[in-house]
Amino acid sequence: MLTDLQRRKMTRFFRVYDINGSGFIEESDYMRIAHNFAQMRGFKPSSTEYARLETKFQFVWDYMRKFGDPNRDYSVSLEEFLAYASSVMEDNYAAVEGSTGNFLFELIDGDSDGRITLDEFRLFYRGYDIQDTVVDHIFRKLDLNADSVISAEEFSQLGYDFHHSDDPDSPANWFFGPF
């Protein structure tokens, strides 16, 4: 069962992924996000990189649809998403979110140096149509040791804390912006 804080964070997460604002997360949301990232990275639709990115987002959507769409209508409502988030956190967080977190880190870390810079972070959040001014604030909150980069270790801890922490002052609460 989600706490009130977790519910608010997961609601924000839902709204970020509902990129078309329909009130549901659908396959088209995931594909639009994948397309946005591909464009920002300069991947051509016929490229291997584009296909890999699309495949990863398709995998994440398929998993969510399988476990978060009980009525099988190919869309996930907020309530379905919250139930899905609760079950993932209780049952198999490490397997699901750990693998998704690694994928996201690799996606954000455009030069593959094991660190996320502010510029890489901005580029990533543009895929979700989040403004740079908001992203700059998020980055400052998430850069736990204030060294101007987010390491893989910081990112992993932040991902875990975003989902699990009930501390209202946790920097991880800002992972997807204000809620």
In a domain, 85, yes or no: yes
The boundaries of the domain holding residue 85 are 1-91
Q: What is the pLDDT of residue 147?
A: 98
Q: What is the pLDDT of residue 55?
A: 94
HSE, CB side, 13 Å, CA atoms: give it for residue 106. 10
Q: What is the pLDDT of residue 54?
A: 94
* Distance between CA atoms of residues 54 and 51, nearest Å: 5
* Distance between CA atoms of residues 69 and 115, nearest Å: 35
Residues (pLDDT < 50) of the chain are none
Please answer whether residues 2 and 114 qualify as being in contact, where contact means their C-beta atoms are separated by less than 8 angstroms: no
In a domain, 124, yes or no: yes
Q: The CATH number of the domain where 121 resides is what? A: 1.10.238.10
Q: What is the pLDDT of residue 122?
A: 95
What total of structural domains would you count in the chain?
2
Q: What is the pLDDT of residue 127?
A: 85
Q: What is the pLDDT of residue 96?
A: 55
Residue 139: how many other CB atoms lie within 10 Å: 22
In a domain, 134, yes or no: yes
Phi, psi of 92 (to 5 degrees): -145, 50
pLDDT digits (tens, 9 = 90+) for 29-39: 999 999 999 99
pLDDT digits (tens, 9 = 90+) for 11-51: 999 999 999 999 999 999 999 999 999 998 899 999 999 99
Q: What is the pLDDT of residue 111?
A: 93
